Every structure is written in C-alpha cells, then in structure tokens.
Amino acid sequence: FGPGNVVRCESNDGRTRECAVGYARDARLLRQLSRSECIEGESWGVTRRSVWVTRGCRGEFLIDDRGRDRDWSGPGGGDHIRCESDDGRWNRC
C-alpha cells in the first residue's frame, strides 16, 4: 500500500456520506470508530475522489494516492467500464 493521507469519514444516523479525498487509487480502513461494523463494499468504499460510508460506519481511512498525476479522462487513459445502480443503491464495480 502506497503513501497517502488519513481521512476520517463518519456515517451519522445511518446516512450515507462521501468524504472528499482529492484523488484515491485505493483506501484501507485503519481504525473503526463506530460500534456498527465497517465492511468494505457494504458499509464503506472508495471512489476516485472520495471515501463513502453508510449504515453507521465511522472510521479513519488510509488513502493510497499513488499515480494521482495520471489522467484517466482521455483516450488511452485506462480501461472504460459501465457501472450502474438500477435500484438506487450503491454498486461496486
């Protein structure tokens, strides 16, 4: 796991919250702060620009920001996938 920042992100009242991180290649839960379990892909996850938490998960996350200068938006900038949430819920692709 590469260098990065530690971000605290908290789901209060069971609501989903996104915490901006600038750029994230990956994240790891360093310390759970809640009684509610923090399970990757279910109650927390990472997008390219944020960590999200839900269902009462509160924690401190180590953000892997290696490669933040790479441009993923243009031609040849990486693989493109289609990811959808048909039922309005979080979907991990």
More confident residue, 29 or 64: 29
* Per-residue pLDDT reduced to its tens digit, 33-82: 999 999 999 999 999 899 999 999 999 999 988 765 444 444 444 444 55
Side-chain-side CA neighbours of 46 within 13 Å: the count stands at 19
pTM of the model: 0.68
Distance CA 41, CA 47 (A): 11
Sign of CA dihedral 34, 37, 42, 44: positive
More confident residue, 64 or 1: 64
